[in-house]
């Protein structure tokens, strides 16, 4: 495919005001009792060769967002625009040609590899769906395995014969088999041993460099996100509370939640003396969130106005958006 | 700061083997460690290194297939290994208690949390129900649970993950143990909740002068909680020392590799150095130094026999023939040994 200069700089993925709401039904007569606003008005964009890190704690909606972007969940509102084409509302058939363009890498590669198929067969399945001929497929499987750092001879082995790190490599090879331009990585290294994590992180970096991949990198680990990302979006209860170049966010987070999150990350540099007073409370339920700022219940800076009106995402610097009055 | 000199737990030359269909697998091979009174010690390692098995053996909680082949574990002079069930029951909960990773699987879902916390007190001490209730309320307050009088009658599923872990800690504290073993207590929690639990454990320990043996794979957590660290690899302690020393000047290539491989914002743009290969299967660990097949500094003599711990002063020891050399620093090429390129592609 020939890409003009204009398409190089245009975002590969653009998400506009995306909403995913789940109804909560009362068991009797299935009446709707309330809504879980898992994703509630999210905007973001990912460009070629760039990584957008998406961080937040469990239940903040980051995995739901990923599923909606992939079209695995239907959106309640907003749009997912892929290279200028709106994907929302496309039928399964209309969606198919685009499926190969965005792929996902999961936390547990066991879940994405068929245990009864060899690694080679799993990867070949991807190649077949994009219409590659049998003769070419065999050679391509070998190439893909080598590309993720596995010997081509591994193609006849089954997933259970691999170690965790090797299995994640195989999962990546399968995702790459259809030639995606965007890869959504959902906690891809969380299940791996510490000594193996760096291998996979380096591999993801290498692949981005050589293939120009765009990554949406979802993780709760701020150390990994900080290392890999160009831009970072911090999510809390279904909304983005801060969106900034990683450099700016890590140097000086502006939203009280981002500050607390970064302060809570244990790092060796901080050591035993660098321990700060942690944020109180737990992440509240996304069902019927409070009016006003969603962080109000845990925020050390909360004021009356935070409880009254919703807070919007505002620019505090070019490319740096924050959802807090106090940051303006 | 007071000196913590009195040894509470002392483990010497512990060997534990698992019987498997493929033959015996050595899970723990000659572990020796000590925890002083009032001290927090971390036992760090990756999955399968034997760190949890080591801790379970002190409490007689090893799975059936595991056999303690030799060694001793003494708690203030009492030998723990080989105690019968009745003697162990007097120790568990009262002198040593344990906090596990996933509180939902350790709490009984059909009992109220108040009753579960009170159970240990009921077993170990002859006190009436009112007294038990009073003590449970105090414990819940101590671990930072709001409205403890009401929470007493909650069931585990009614609490959040962080609160459940607080309940587990309250339970572990119920009989004022001398030693708390915490096995990955924050791994299942969110970052901000993890910070709350770590802060709680630190303040409780300072108030009660309890010793904590903290088992984890997370080096960031270790650096925040532990005064001393033992690093375990393939069933052996490979390095031990005071936390700041060990992190600033690690001498075992495994510790060096782990620290160098941690991603952080500050390392952006530089390639992470990774440890090639993977953790060996306990059933077929390599001969000699167990780390030699993955070691960037391995020499011919590393294949021969397991190195002994080399003393580096101030309690810092490393099980490496080259422990006297400082870590190769990729940023300063002059200091790098000839074979020190650690960017091995995995």
Last residue of a domain, one of B120, B155, B176: B176
User: Judged by CB atoms within 8 Å, which residues 147-166 of A form the interface with B?
Assistant: 149, 163-166
Say whether the ipTM exceeds 0.85: no
On whether both B154 and B257 belong to a single domain, the answer is: no
Judge whether A286 lies within some domain.
Answer: no
What global pTM score does this model have? 0.87
Q: Give yes or no: residues B48 and B77 share one domain.
A: yes
**Looking only at Cα atoms, what is the longest distance across chain B?**
71
Would you call B278 helix, strand, or coil by DSSP? Answer: coil
Q: Is A15 inside a domain boundary?
A: yes
Cβ-based contacts of B259 with chain A (< 8 Å):
268
Residue A139 lies in a domain: no
Burial label for A255, CB within 10 Å (0-12, 13-18, 19+), is buried
Query: How many domains does the structure of chain A reveal?
Result: 1
Position B33 in a domain: yes
* CA A23 – CA A46 distance, rounded (Å): 30
Put simply, whether A111 touches B (Cβ < 8 Å) is no
Domain containing residue B220: CATH number: 3.40.50.300
Name the band, by pLDDT with cuts 50, 70 and 90, for residue B334: very low
Contact flag A266-B257 (C-beta cutoff 8 Å)? no
- Which chain A residues touch B218 with a CB distance below 8 Å? 194, 266
Q: Which of A23-37, B86-100, B256-270 has the lowest mean pLDDT?
A: A23-37
Shortest alpha-carbon distance between residue B35 and chain A (Å): 18
**B102 lies in some domain:** no
Domain count, chain B: 2
Q: Residue B173, exposed/middle/buried by CB under 10 A (0-12, 13-18, 19+)?
A: buried
Q: What is the pLDDT of residues B133-164, one digit of tens each?
A: 999 999 998 888 888 888 899 999 888 888 88
Tell whether B245 is covered by a domain. yes
Q: Where are the alpha helices (DSSP H) in B156-252?
A: 161-173, 191-208, 219-225, 243-248
- HSE-CB for A221 with a 13 A CA cutoff: 26
Range of the structural domain that residue B297 is part of: 1-95+178-346
Same domain, B188 and B281: yes
Q: Which two tokens stand for residue B314?
A: 């101030």
Q: For A39-83, what is each residue's pLDDT tens digit?
A: 999 999 999 999 999 999 888 899 899 999 988 888 999 999 998
Q: How does pLDDT run across B15-45, given as a tens digit for each residue?
A: 999 998 888 889 999 999 999 999 999 999 9
| Distance separating alpha carbons of residues B231 and B216, to the nearest angstrom | 10
Q: Provide the percentage of residues in chain B whose pLDDT is more than 90.
A: 58
For testing the chain A interface, which of B103, B165, B195 should be mutated: the one with the most A CBs within 10 Å? B195
Instruction: Check pLDDT > 50 for residue B109.
Output: yes
Q: What is the CATH number of the domain that holds A15?
A: 3.40.50.300
In a domain, B59, yes or no: yes
Q: For chain A, positions 246-275, list CB contacts with chain B under 8 A.
A: 246, 250, 260-261, 263-272, 274-275
- Strand order of the sheet with strand A13-25? A32-46, A13-25, A77-82, A85-86
B101 assigned to some structural domain: no
Q: Residue B49's closest chain A neighbor by CA? A: A193
DSSP string, A9-53: HS-SEEEEEEEEEEEEE-SGGG-EEEEEEEEEEEEEEE-TT-EEE
Contacts of B212 in chain A (CB under 8 A): none
B-chain residue closest to A250, CA distance:
B265
DSSP state of B281: P
Q: Taking CB atoms and an 8 Å cutoff, what residues of chain A touch B47?
A: 193
Domain boundary residue, one of B157, B176, B195: B176
CA distance, residue B328 to nearest chain A CA (Å): 18
Instruction: State whether B154 and B140 are in the same domain.
Output: yes
Whether B204 and B273 map to the same domain: the answer is: yes
Same domain, B198 and B258: yes
Spatial separation of the C-alpha atoms in residues B258 and A198, rounded to whole Å: 9
Instruction: Identify the pLDDT of residue A7.
Output: 44
B140 in the same domain as B241: no
Residue B100 maps to a domain: no
Residues B76 and B183 occupy one common structural domain: yes
Is B51 among the domain residues? yes
Residues B14 and B80 in one domain: yes
Total CB pairs under 8 A between chain A and B: 147
Token pair of B22 as six digits: 């493929």
């Amino acid at each position: 495919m020939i890409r003009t200069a204009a398409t190089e700089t245009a975002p590969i993925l653009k998400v506009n005001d995306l909403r995913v709401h789940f109804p909560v039904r009362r068991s009797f007569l299935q009446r709707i009792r309330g809504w879980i606003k898992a994703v509630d008005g999210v905007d973001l964009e990912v460009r070629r060769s760039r990584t957008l890190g998406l961080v937040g704690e469990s239940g903040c909606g980051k995995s739901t967002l990923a599923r909606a972007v992939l079209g695995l969940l239907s959106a309640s509102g907003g749009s997912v625009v892929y290279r200028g084409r709106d994907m929302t509302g496309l039928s399964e058939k209309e969606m198919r040609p685009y499926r190969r363009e965005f792929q996902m890498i999961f936390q547990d590669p066991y879940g994405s590899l068929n245990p009864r198929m060899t690694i080679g067969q799993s990867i070949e399945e991807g190649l077949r769906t994009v219409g590659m001929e049998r003769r070419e497929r065999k050679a391509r499987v070998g190439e893909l395995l080598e590309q993720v750092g596995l010997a081509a001879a591994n193609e006849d082995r089954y997933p259970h014969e691999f170690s965790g790190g090797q299995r994640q490599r195989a999962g990546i090879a399968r995702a790459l088999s259809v030639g995606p331009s965007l890869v959504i990585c959902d906690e891809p290294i969380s299940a791996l041993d510490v000594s193996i994590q760096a291998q996979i992180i380096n591999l993801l970096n290498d692949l981005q460099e050589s293939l120009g991949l765009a990554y949406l990198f979802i993780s709760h680990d701020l150390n990994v996100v900080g290392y890999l990302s160009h831009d970072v979006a911090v999510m809390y209860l279904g909304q983005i509370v801060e969106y900034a170049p990683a450099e700016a966010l890590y140097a000086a987070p502006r939203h009280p939640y981002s500050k607390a999150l970064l302060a809570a990350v244990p790092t060796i540099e901080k050591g035993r003396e660098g321990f700060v007073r942690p944020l109180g409370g737990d992440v509240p339920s996304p069902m019927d969130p409070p009016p006003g700022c969603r962080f109000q219940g845990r925020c050390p800076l909360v004021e009356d106005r935070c409880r009254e009106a919703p807070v919007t995402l505002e620019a505090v610097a070019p490319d740096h958006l924050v959802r807090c009055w106090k940051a303006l | 700061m007071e000196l913590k000199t009195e040894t509470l737990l002392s483990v010497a030359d512990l060997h534990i083997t698992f019987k498997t269909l493929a033959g015996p697998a050595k899970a723990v091979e000659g572990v020796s460690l000590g925890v002083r009174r009032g001290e927090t010690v971390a036992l760090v390692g990756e999955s399968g290194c034997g760190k949890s098995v080591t801790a379970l053996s002190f409490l007689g909680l090893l799975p059936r297939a595991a056999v303690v082949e030799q060694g001793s574990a003494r708690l203030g002079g009492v030998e723990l290994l080989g105690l019968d069930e009745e003697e162990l029951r007097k120790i568990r909960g009262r002198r040593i208690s344990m906090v596990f990773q996933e509180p939902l699987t350790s709490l009984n879902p059909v009992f109220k949390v108040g009753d579960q916390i009170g159970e240990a007190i009921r077993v170990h001490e002859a006190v009436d129900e009112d007294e038990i209730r009073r003590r449970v309320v105090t414990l819940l307050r101590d671990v930072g649970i709001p409205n403890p009088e009401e929470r007493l009658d909650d069931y585990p599923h009614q609490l959040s993950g962080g609160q459940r872990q607080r309940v587990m800690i309250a339970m572990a504290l119920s009989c004022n143990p001398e030693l708390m073993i915490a096995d990955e207590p924050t791994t299942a929690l969110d970052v901000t909740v993890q910070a709350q639990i770590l802060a709680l454990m630190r303040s409780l320990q300072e108030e009660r002068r309890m010793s904590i043996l903290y088992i984890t794979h997370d080096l960031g957590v270790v650096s925040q909680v532990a005064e001393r660290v033992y690093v375990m690899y393939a069933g052996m302690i490979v390095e031990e020392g005071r936390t700041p020393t060990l992190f600033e000047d690690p001498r075992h290539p495994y510790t060096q590799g782990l620290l160098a491989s941690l991603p952080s914002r500050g390392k952006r743009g530089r390639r992470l150095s990774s440890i090639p290969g993977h953790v060996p299967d306990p059933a077929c660990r390599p001969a000699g130094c167990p780390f030699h097949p993955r070691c960037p500094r391995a020499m011919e003599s590393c294949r021969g026999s397991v190195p002994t711990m080399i003393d580096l002063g101030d309690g810092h020891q490393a099980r490496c023939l080259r422990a006297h050399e400082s870590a190769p620093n990729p940023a300063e090429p002059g200091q790098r040994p000839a074979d020190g390129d650690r960017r091995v592609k995995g």
